[in-house]
Amino acid sequence: MSSALAFVFPGQGSQLVGMGRSAYESSPAARAVFDEADRVLGYPLTKICFEGPAEKLNDTTVAQPAILTTSVALFEAMVESVNQKIGRRVTDGSEPRGVLALPEQMRPSFVAGHSLGEFSALVVAGVLPFSDALRLVAIRGHLAATRGAQGSMAAIVGMSAADVEATIRRTVSEEGRVVVANDNGPNQVTIAGDEEGIRRVTEALAAGGARKVVPLRISAPFHFPAMGRIGDDLRSFMQTLRFREPVVPIVANISGLPHPNVSAIPDALVRHLSQRVEWLKSVRFMVERGASTFVEFGGGPVVNGLVKRIADVGLVNVTDNASVAKAIASLRAKAAAVRAR
């Protein structure tokens, strides 16, 4: 029986100073995730997450592991709280993995991450242990910062992807100089490109009817053709990791459909660097197949803010210690409703 739940995770740009601190201070499981991140990375990520400065947290090489760590810590805090309440023991080993550590009625039918959030989804779906996913996003951020494309990104509100693409074609003649990087909803997209191209396109969009143009807090343009130049290096690193079959379907950014099997995931993550995030398709796919409540684990309700513009569904946000308890109550009510059908 479907749980009607989808667990979703935010990507780069969602970072904010103080994220995860409440969970760290109240949940041993969340604290263990942050402590492991500091050990694996070899620098005090936890201190940067909690105290900043914002300029450091916004740097791609720090933001990527910080966002992953916060999402996984919040997820683990919820798992810990659920199992304490029902007296269910969870081992400290590799099993149960991710969502399997939750009671069956509280497990999602799908998981998905927005952009970088797809790596958090891999952890929760049991494909990679947290430490491996952390090393993967750290090398991804390092490669992007040192050998990746230069440029910036901006969010465009009030225009569809097709309308934005038409403006791009009219404004810059060089194909691939500016692209729609994220199709976030019917009237919200993100563009990526070189600095001058982004400046020209955003000016044209603002003059051409966009309701809002917002530069993103990001130091490198992702889902952008030129970022594909680091793909071979990222692929080589992934060959050192063991990917396992997902225990729950992961809806892939590049297709808006579940990864067909574990062997397809590394290639999808390489293509993820240079191809569009199909978030609108992803949400519609999950809703069409029964997902009626979306639970976001992250520093703020960023992804659910996009979801609510796509579908009329329930939204639950796990952002701190207080929201963990609210989320559990909401998910229990949802599970009871599903059982009563």
**Per residue in 23-76, pLDDT tens?**
999 999 999 999 999 999 999 999 999 999 999 999 989 999 999 999 999 999
Q: Do residues 201 and 118 make contact, with C-beta atoms less than 8 angstroms apart?
A: no
| Cα(140)–Cα(143) distance, integer angstroms | 5
Residue intervals of the chain classified under CATH 3.40.366.10 are: 5-147+227-340
pLDDT, tens only, 203-242: 999 999 999 999 988 878 999 999 999 999 999 999 999 9
Burial (0-12, 13-18, 19+ Cβ within 10 Å), 100: middle
pTM of the model: 0.94
Average per-residue pLDDT in the chain? 93
| Cα(99)–Cα(97) distance, integer angstroms | 6
From the candidates 71, 115, 219, 292, give the one annotated as an active-site residue. 115
Residue 109 annotated as catalytic: no
| Cα(252)–Cα(115) distance, integer angstroms | 9
- pLDDT score for 217: 80
pLDDT, tens only, 243-255: 999 999 999 999 9
Residue 292 annotated as catalytic: no
Q: Report helix, strand and coil shares of the chain as percent, to nearest 5.
A: 50, 15, 35
- pLDDT score for 89: 57
What is the mean predicted confidence (pLDDT) over 272-281? 98
Q: Using 50, 70 and 90 to split pLDDT, how confident is the model at 109?
A: very high
**pLDDT exceeds 70 at position 120:** yes
- pLDDT score for 64: 94
**pLDDT exceeds 50 at position 1:** no
Q: Using 50, 70 and 90 to split pLDDT, how confident is the model at 2?
A: low
- pLDDT score for 331: 82
Percentage of the chain exceeding pLDDT 70: 94
Does 5-147+227-340 carry CATH code 3.60.20.10? no
- pLDDT score for 329: 87
**pLDDT exceeds 90 at position 341:** no
Lowest mean pLDDT among 81-90, 105-114, 129-138: 81-90
Q: Using 50, 70 and 90 to split pLDDT, how confident is the model at 94?
A: very low
From the candidates 3, 27, 120, 223, give the one annotated as an active-site residue. 223
Report in angstroms the alpha-carbon separations of 238 from 74, 221, 265, 322.
25, 21, 10, 36
Give me the CATH code for the 152-219 domain, please: 3.30.70.250
Tokens of 308: 């609510």
